[in-house]
Amino acid sequence: MYEPNTIDLSDHCELEYWFTVLSEHLPDLVDKAVASEGGTDGAKRRGDAFARAFSAHLARLMEEPAAYGKLGLANLLELREECLREFQFLDAYRSIKQRENEVSLAVLPDLLMELDRMDEEARLLTLIEGVLAANIFDWGSRACVDLYHKGTIIDIYRMSRNKMQRPWRVDDFDLFRERMLGSEGKKPRPHKRALLFVDNSGADVVLGMLPLARELLRRGTEVVLVANSLPALNDVTAMELPDIVAEAAKHCDNLRRAAEAGGLLVDAMTNTLDGSKENCSSVPLMVVENGCGSPCIDLRQVSSELASAAKHADLIILEGMGRALHTNFNARFKCEALKLAMVKNQRLAEKLIKGEIYDCVCRYEPAS
């Protein structure tokens, strides 16, 4: 039976730890939320009210963990986002996301040229390293917020990439490489459709997941970028992705043709998502919303568009701590799955993978 939550909050010590993490992150979140609304006196009052309300929710759950039903870490994180929306903070990290997208898009052409100079095997490893390195950008992680104060996002991305040395803490790259490239001269069939569950804005999606999507497209695989319906921290949303892809496509004909074939508008995607590829000169690159407004994902509760797109998928790629570790790490899927994340919490690293903060996870699971 599918159970998305990885962390067991029925353990009181575990519950207390994550409540402390959320409480310590609250002042920074309030500052970002107030700034996103112009820093007005009204926004400050709403920010204070949000902090009081969310703290009250945490206090009640500490006393009565089942007060709102079965409690998992995904539920806690979603509660925080719902509470923000209740006080009219609709996108607390809006300006930060825009700035990081612009900076990342400016260096994307150089990265694509670097990738295109590589042979197939080196390129695939570099792409996976790039996804893991770029996943360092997470405003929900205390350790990563501290890094932001010490350097630019490009400096942090380069540092992260330079530290990418195998073996990773969970390292199934060789299995994934064999599935993608084959062995002993035998070329495997390409995947028909891949669902890429993207995580953060900025370098994470632009320098990590988009180049990986491009590689799959070059192999003849349809790609569906799956993103949040509503904002959560600095996660990219389905509404924001088409503009990001359009900018990236200015530097890559493959991306441009695939974006044209996929429409990248909800009303233009209908025919493509149901499996029809009429009038498409390229395999399509599509965007769908997942029906969620949380850093995690419960695949029992997704949008009808995602459910429709998933019918034809034979590969899913879950990226980031929320979707690949906090949730779905232990889930097994009928199709192939690749789970990619950098662990940015010491306790999670110790309990889940018996590792250290900034260790990486590359878990590949064949179809079951």
CA distance readout (Å), 211 to 7, 32, 192, 322, 333: 31, 30, 18, 21, 24
Which CA distances in Å does 274 have to 51, 125, 227, 270, 283?
Answer: 44, 32, 19, 7, 14
Q: What fold does the segment set 94-267+279-365 form as a domain?
A: Rossmann fold (3.40.50)
Give the model's pLDDT for residue 272: 44
Q: What is the pLDDT of residue 271?
A: 43
Name the region of 187 (left: φ>0; alpha: ψ -120 to 50; beta: rest): beta
Delimit the domains of the chain by residue range.
12-90, 94-267+279-365
Structure confidence by residue, pLDDT tens digits, 187-239? 999 999 999 999 999 999 999 999 999 999 999 999 999 999 999 999 999 99
pLDDT confidence of residue 11:
87
- CATH no. of 12-90: 1.20.1700.10
Each residue's pLDDT tens digit, 108-157: 999 999 999 999 999 999 999 999 999 987 655 565 566 656 666 677 78
Burial call 233-243: b when 16+ CB within 10 Å, e when fewer: bbbbbbbbbbe
Question: What are the residue ranges in the chain where pLDDT is below 70?
Answer: 138-153, 265-281
The answer to whether the CB of 202 falls within 8 A of the CB of 137 is yes
Question: Residue 327 forms beta bridges with which residues?
Answer: 5
Q: What is the pTM of this model?
A: 0.91
User: CA 340, CA 349: separation in Å to the nearest integer?
Assistant: 14
pLDDT of res. 225: 98
